[in-house]
Amino acid sequence: MKTETDLQNRLLAELKQWFTRQCADQHRDFYLWYLPTTAEHDGGIIICSDKPVNPEYQLAMPERIRKGDTVEQNFIRIRSGVLRSLPVLSAD
């Protein structure tokens, strides 16, 4: 991710996709994962129910995305409590 705005936009897009998948299967739990930035590649985030295929992804927070919260409520909670601490922004 280049900037914090890019990261927030990605989180919002991931949460919108999460909402659709969560409504389709209310019993599944979804989690936020992150890919750390390295010299070889930019970092990123993803929301999924299983561990991502790429083994470099790490769990961003131990609790699941809250099923009873809206996209906006989850966005605010994750943005203020987790997002800023993830090492996913570009080095330049």
Which residue from 33, 31, 17, 34 is spatially nearest to 66, judged by alpha carbons? Answer: 31
Residue 58 lies in a domain: yes
pLDDT at site 90: 82
Higher pLDDT, 59 or 2: 59
Chain mean pLDDT for the chain: 94
Expressed as residue numbers, the domain containing 11 is: 4-83
Q: Quick check: is 19 in a domain? A: yes
Rounded CA separation 41/78 (Å): 23
In a domain, 57, yes or no: yes
The per-residue pLDDT for range 41-76, each reduced to its tens digit, is 889 999 999 999 999 999 999 999 999 999 999 999
Q: Is residue 49 part of a domain?
A: yes
In this model, does residue 83 exceed pLDDT 90? yes
Q: Is a pLDDT exceeding 70 seen at residue 92? A: no
Task: Tell whether 92 is covered by a domain.
Answer: no
Instruction: Report the domain count for the chain.
Output: 1
